[in-house]
Amino acid sequence: MKKEEILMELEMELKHFFCRGLSDAFKRKAMEMAVEKFIQERASRYTEAELDKHFGELEEASRVFLEYLVGEGLLDLKKGVNPWVPKS
């Protein structure tokens, strides 16, 4: 599979996993935007082999995505701050 196809599939899977259950349209859109930003800024830097290694399983992809959210300050695991809540 080509890198572009892998990235598109990864984006769809992350959006499905992290956004589908959000009933609030604002929260869902914010999470979708976080996924898109992650794909553009982080995942697109990987080679095809690295994408397969880091994102071949949804569990690993979720871990890397959550680490990205924490690193960007969008998610604070200690405080339980949700990534769709604007930083104050």
- Render pLDDT for 25-42 as a digit per residue (tens, 0 to 9): 988 998 999 999 999 999
Tokens of 30: 């914010």
- What contacts 43, CB < 8 A, 6 or more positions away? 7, 10, 51, 55
User: Do 28 and 22 contact (CB within 8 A), yes or no?
Assistant: yes
Q: Tell me whether residue 13 is in a domain.
A: yes
32 in any annotated domain: yes
Does any domain span residue 53? yes
Asked if residue 78 belongs to a domain, the reply is no
- Residues of the domain holding 7: 3-71
Distance in angstroms between the alpha carbons of the first and the last residue of the chain: 41
Indicate the pLDDT class of residue 81, thresholds 50, 70 and 90. low
Residue 76 lies in a domain: no
pTM, two decimals, is 0.82
Angle at 32 between CA 67 and CA 62, to 5 degrees: 30
